[in-house]
Amino acid sequence: MYDVVVVGAGPGGSIAAKTCAENGLNVLLVEKRQEIGVPVRCAEGISRDALERFVEPKKFFISREVVGAKIFAPDGTEITLSEEKAGNEVGYVLERKVFDRYLATLASQAGAEVLVKTTAYDFERKDGIVKVKLRRMGEEWEVETKLVIGADGVESRVAKFFGIDTTLKPDGIESCVQYLMTNIDFDPDYCYFWLGKSIAPGGYIWLFPKRVGANVGIGVMPSIAKKTPKEYLDDFVQKKFPDGRIVELVAGAVPVCGEIKTAVADNVMLVGDAARHADPITGGGIANAMKAGYYAGKVAAEAVKKNDFSAKFLKRYDKLWKEDFGKELAKKRKLQQKLIKMDDETLNKIAHSIPKNIKELSVRAIVLEIFKKHPKLLWDVKDLIL
Ligand SMILES: Cc1cc2nc3c(=O)[nH]c(=O)nc-3n(C[C@H](O)[C@H](O)[C@H](O)COP(=O)(O)OP(=O)(O)OC[C@H]3O[C@@H](n4cnc5c(N)ncnc54)[C@H](O)[C@@H]3O)c2cc1C
């Protein structure tokens, strides 16, 4: 019998398993892919602080360090945020194939048992014990535990099985496509973002520099998009990078629905994308997945000590993630709902209103300037940003 079974070895699951093991628990981490971190479904950007809170940065999993961000309004107006001025808005572009695997090895070194190419395909809960049914290369067997940590990503099976409501409505999801591109011209010290309802409705186009080439991708909200994300991205790439070459393609989805009511049920906690922890505005989810994994691991250790795996006890995990970043998710969801209604003309107007000589070029300072010039635009969300 395992104290904890963690389903999914993304950043959330590996940090959860590592934290459980460091706290003396007998933990199994199962991952359905044969290679952890492959295929990559991510643009791989993370802020410096978010990464360094959990892992010491190592050259082998960092593809690029960036010093700022360039944001483009629909008419091409550019706003550059330098690291000096933008503080923690920028940081690293990871090599997630290596990073995710490294996190799993940290979990394993801490004492977690790691099984790859192993799918948790069903669960049976009876008398406070969960039987987790596993499948690997045609072989099926089951293991027992009192606690499951569902870190199984946006399509979480664990959430569904244990009846935790994580339903995503069409406006609660970003549908993404990304190319790894070479033969394109850009400043490798910067991440790029292109905004506009006509190029990426409900989302944006990004370029994140890699050691060789760059991740060029798009996220759109299917509820308002008129084409597929790939069609939008192809239109953009043909115009912007006509000589570019595509050497990799990934497609995936990010939950952007904001804070869910609860991420626990009897005998289970959800972390990361499974618990809809990604940022509703940026779609970034690595940082919150790691934070949630850490909190879930800590609460798992307390639950084992008290031999209490009830939802009532596990609510202390809800408290931890909600206090850390849950409120922020709720605020950003409201702001996102406002932003997706803005037409390109309004976005241009906003970009023009940012003075060139603004003293501090942080996101907050920019928003304040916009608010001063166009209070009506942001009036109903002023409490969220001021
Ligand atoms: C195109 C795209 C670009 C993105 N760009 C960024 C970015 O730049 N920065 C950022 O912070 N975030 C980004 N994200 C979001 C980020 O990738 C996720 O938020 C993050 O990976 C969530 O981590 P996680 O551990 O919760 O889940 P995941 O990383 O999704 O890991 C879940 C794991 O569970 C495994 N699994 C699923 N079901 C089972 C099962 N039944 N049994 C066993 N294993 C299972 C999966 O194989 C997977 O390895 C992007 C997402 C997309 C789609």
Does 220 share its domain with 266? no
Does 193 share its domain with 207? yes
Instruction: Specify if 18 maps to a domain.
Output: yes
- Our answer on whether the CB atom of 209 is closer than 6 Å to any ligand 1 atom is no
- Our answer on whether the CB atom of 279 is closer than 6 Å to any ligand 1 atom is no
- The residue whose CB lies within 8 Å of the most ligand 1 atoms, and thus the one to mutate among 28, 42, 228, is 42
Instruction: Specify if 130 maps to a domain.
Output: yes
Does 34 share its domain with 106? yes
Does 204 share its domain with 286? no
Identify the pLDDT of residue 344. Answer: 94
Identify the pLDDT of residue 350. Answer: 85
- 96 annotated as belonging to a binding site for a ligand: yes
Does 278 share its domain with 208? no
- Our answer on whether the CB atom of 31 is closer than 6 Å to any ligand 1 atom is yes
Does 15 share its domain with 155? yes
Identify the pLDDT of residue 365. Answer: 62
Q: Could you tell me which residues come within 8 angstroms of residue 371 by beta carbon, excluding any fewer than 6 positions away?
A: 377, 378, 382, 385, 386
For the segment 66-77, what is each residue's pLDDT rounded down to a tens digit?
Answer: 998 899 999 999
- 15 annotated as belonging to a binding site for a ligand: no
Instruction: Specify if 75 maps to a domain.
Output: no
- Our answer on whether the CB atom of 120 is closer than 6 Å to any ligand 1 atom is yes
Does 204 share its domain with 350? no
Tokens, residue 371: 């608010």
Q: Which domain holds residue 229?
A: 173-255
Cα–Cα distance, 68 to 63 (Å, whole number): 15
DSSP string spanning 116-184?
A: SS-EEEEEEEETTEEEEEEEETTEEEEEEEEEEEE---TT-HHHHHTT------GGGEEEEEEEEEES-
Does 162 share its domain with 45? yes
For the segment 294-344, what is each residue's pLDDT rounded down to a tens digit?
Answer: 999 999 999 999 999 999 999 999 999 999 999 999 999 998 998 898 899
What is the rounded average pLDDT for all residues in the chain? 92
Identify the pLDDT of residue 125. Answer: 95
The CB density around residue 360, as the number of other CB atoms within 10 Å, is 13
For residue 369, how far is its CA from the centre of ligand 1 (angstroms)? 35
Instruction: Specify if 39 maps to a domain.
Output: yes
Strand, coil or helix: what is 64? strand
**Pure H helices in 8-141:** 11-22, 48-52, 83-86, 96-110
Does 205 share its domain with 354? no
Cα–Cα distance, 250 to 258 (Å, whole number): 24
Instruction: Specify if 322 maps to a domain.
Output: yes
Does 38 share its domain with 120? yes
For the segment 151-171, what is each residue's pLDDT rounded down to a tens digit?
Answer: 999 999 999 999 999 999 999
Strand, coil or helix: what is 255? strand
Domain count, the chain: 3
Identify the pLDDT of residue 68. Answer: 87
* Helix axes of 96-110 and 11-22: crossing angle, nearest 10 degrees: 20
Instruction: Specify if 79 maps to a domain.
Output: no
- 42 annotated as belonging to a binding site for a ligand: yes
Average pLDDT of span 349-373: 67
Average pLDDT of span 209-234: 96
| Nearest of 328, 198, 202, 322 to residue 254 by alpha carbon | 202
Does 286 share its domain with 365? no
- Our answer on whether the CB atom of 97 is closer than 6 Å to any ligand 1 atom is no
The protein residue with its alpha carbon nearest to ligand 1, atom 52, reads 42
Cα–Cα distance, 198 to 225 (Å, whole number): 9
- The residue whose CB lies within 8 Å of the most ligand 1 atoms, and thus the one to mutate among 36, 41, 191, 204, is 41
Domain termination site, one of 203, 233, 255: 255
Identify the pLDDT of residue 210. Answer: 97
Cα–Cα distance, 329 to 182 (Å, whole number): 34
For residue 155, how far is its CA from the centre of ligand 1 (angstroms)? 10
241-258: b or e for each residue (b if 16 or more CB lie within 10 Å)?
beebebeeebebbbbbbb
Average pLDDT of span 87-98: 81
For the segment 1-53, what is each residue's pLDDT rounded down to a tens digit?
Answer: 999 999 999 999 999 999 999 999 999 999 999 999 999 989 999 999 999 99
In this prediction, residue 59 has a pLDDT band, given cuts at 50, 70 and 90, of very high
For residue 350, how far is its CA from the centre of ligand 1 (angstroms)? 33
Does 132 share its domain with 146? yes
For residue 238, how far is its CA from the centre of ligand 1 (angstroms)? 28
Instruction: Specify if 71 maps to a domain.
Output: no
Instruction: Specify if 364 maps to a domain.
Output: yes
Q: Could you tell me which residues come within 8 angstroms of residue 270 by beta carbon, excluding any fewer than 6 positions away?
A: 149, 150, 151, 156, 158, 159, 164, 166, 263, 264
Domain termination site, one of 194, 220, 255: 255
Report the CATH number that the domain containing residue 316 is assigned in CATH: 3.50.50.60
Domain termination site, one of 229, 255, 281: 255
Q: What is the pTM of this model?
A: 0.94
Cα–Cα distance, 362 to 369 (Å, whole number): 11
Q: Looking at the predicted structure, is the pLDDT value of residue 382 above 80?
A: no
ipTM of the complex: 0.99
| Nearest of 19, 97, 83, 1 to residue 48 by alpha carbon | 83
Report the CATH number that the domain containing residue 224 is assigned in CATH: 3.30.9.10
- What are the strands, taking DSSP E only, across 256-347? 264-265, 268-270
